Chain A
């Protein structure tokens, strides 16, 4: 991850305008001393711009971490395997809580948990077909119901450059795949479906 991209993301998080990927990027990098220093500098700059009061070197994160570490776990008394299970449950519930708040995409834990579920019950894989022909391939849950910009198969609301370029790139990818694809008629069908606009 480039320094520049991270700083942009930091700035976006501070302005409450970060998207999910940016937020994840920042959360991943926040243990790094440089990142924390940058964050601190941005806070000062922001406070100055907004004429707010700020204690420049106030960092309560260490104290919070220490408090969490000191806290007596109610499961500590339990036996070995149950403690592990308890930790797992805590990790899982934290994941759920984080998800409920931010709906992070591509979370490793989710992929892992789903993989585990699917391994245990392969029949599940056949299940989750959404009813109706227009199955939407959105990438957040909220997209399940509302059609996205591509729902009609036509690019909408995109800037001029993307209007010109993206359809061409999509077709080039599909056609190249169809020409290479000897395994089945699937790449051909994908390419053909792009011509049906």
Chain B
């Protein structure tokens, strides 16, 4: 009832500024294509609660192949090399259970789909890394995702700055170029260092990789779909850990389910910059399980997802679509 009373206010707000909506969609479409067509290199900062780091990116598009090399410039030399979206090598170790299967091409920025869940608008002009940029805001239409402010380069359409904002307008994380140019990187710059360890590339199609997972969700925030599922034995506890990943085209969250017995494990709710983690103990006919939801979504939503996980044979509603 109260929601209905507020409806005129909401609709009024949307009608006031109908003008730039199409423009904003065009900007996002341009962004979706830009990384496939434009070579660039630059230095960016990433900031979230408790962490500030600087990184270098080399991105080259040549002969239809996209090569991208990322290197952290301060602290440990975190490094990634990607070719056509496939990760070739990373520094450090990948956590067991992470599979190297990229999303199908065309996934990613789908402006039309995103506009169902976000109010997309051009909010003005700005200047980032010495370059003129246009500001596009994605305001969530419900309370189940965070707002995003993108500063897109006017010349190339690439994101020069990206802010994640909570429903209260607090800044959760900042991604921002400090230096950016469109010169194609040299072969040398795209060569990974010796510390970059090869990653095994999964050859099979994602569909064939999806094992039968007994867990599904009774409730998902609107727009979120299952994008990956896996079950593996944890080497330490010998327990079967089920992991599911969902996204709405922009925001992502993972659900980890692990059987527990006996030990008093408390529920937990915590937030690390943009990423929340909620653990709830669920009782099922097959025994107790800890359900942990990790993702870039509001904590209340994560809690609701955790409480909605069910162990059963019913077809997972989100997986059925894919």
Contacts and interface: CB of A to CB of B under 8 A. Distances in A.
Interface string B243-275: 101000000111010101001011010111111
Interface stretch (B164-172, B185-193, B207-215, B313-321): B164-172
Contact of B290 (A88, A151, A155, A161): A161
A195 B173 CA distance: 16
A48 interface: no
Contacts of A45: none
Given A177-B252, A182-B108, A135 B16 contact: no
A173 B294 contact: yes
B72 A125 contact: no
A119 B274 contact: no
A46 interface: no
A133 interface: yes
B109 A183 contact: yes
Contacts of B303: 21
For B2, B32, B99, B243, which residue has the most chain A Cβ atoms within 10 angstroms? Answer: B2
Contacts of A47: none
B224 interface: no
Contacts of A109: 2-3, 6
Nearest to B48: A193
Most buried by A among B76, B109, B245, B270: B270
Interface centre among A120, A126, A165, A178 (most CB of B within 10 A): A165
A125 B6 contact: no
B290 A108 contact: no
B123 A126 contact: yes
Contact-size category for A: 35 or more
Interface string B68-92: 1010100110101000010100001
Interface in A85-139: 87-88, 91, 95, 105-106, 108-120, 122-130, 133-139
A145 interface: no
Nearest to A105: B300
B53 interface: yes
Interface string A154-197: 11001101101110111111111111101111111110111110
A166 B228 contact: no
B25 interface: no
Interface string B21-46: 00000000000100100000000101
Contact of A123 (B68, B124, B172): B124
Nearest to A19: B269
Given A105-B299, A125-B169, A183-B35, A133 B47 contact: yes
Contact of A166 (B68, B124, B252, B279): B279
Contact of B159 (A137, A179, A184, A193): A184
Contacts of B97: 172
B305 interface: no
A170 B296 CA distance: 11
A148 B273 CA distance: 11
Contacts, number: 272
Given A110-B167, A155-B270, A115 B50 contact: no
B35 A133 contact: no
Nearest to B175: A186
B105 to A, nearest CB: 8
B101 interface: yes
A71 interface: no
B17 A119 contact: yes
Nearest to B254: A173
Given A123-B124, A183-B109, A153 B49 contact: yes
Given A123-B123, A168-B95, A176-B245, A151 B50 contact: yes
A87 B5 contact: yes
Nearest to B158: A184
Contacts of A1: 307
A60 to B, nearest CB: 23
A151 to B, nearest CB: 6
Contact of A153 (B5, B44, B98, B272): B272
A108 B143 contact: yes
6 contacts: A115-B119, A125-B123, A133-B47, A176-B98, A178-B80, A193-B51
Given A137-B170, A139-B271, A173-B252, 13 more contacts: A88-B9, A108-B2, A112-B6, A115-B13, A135-B171, A155-B270, A166-B277, A169-B294, A172-B98, A173-B294, A179-B99, A190-B275, A196-B75
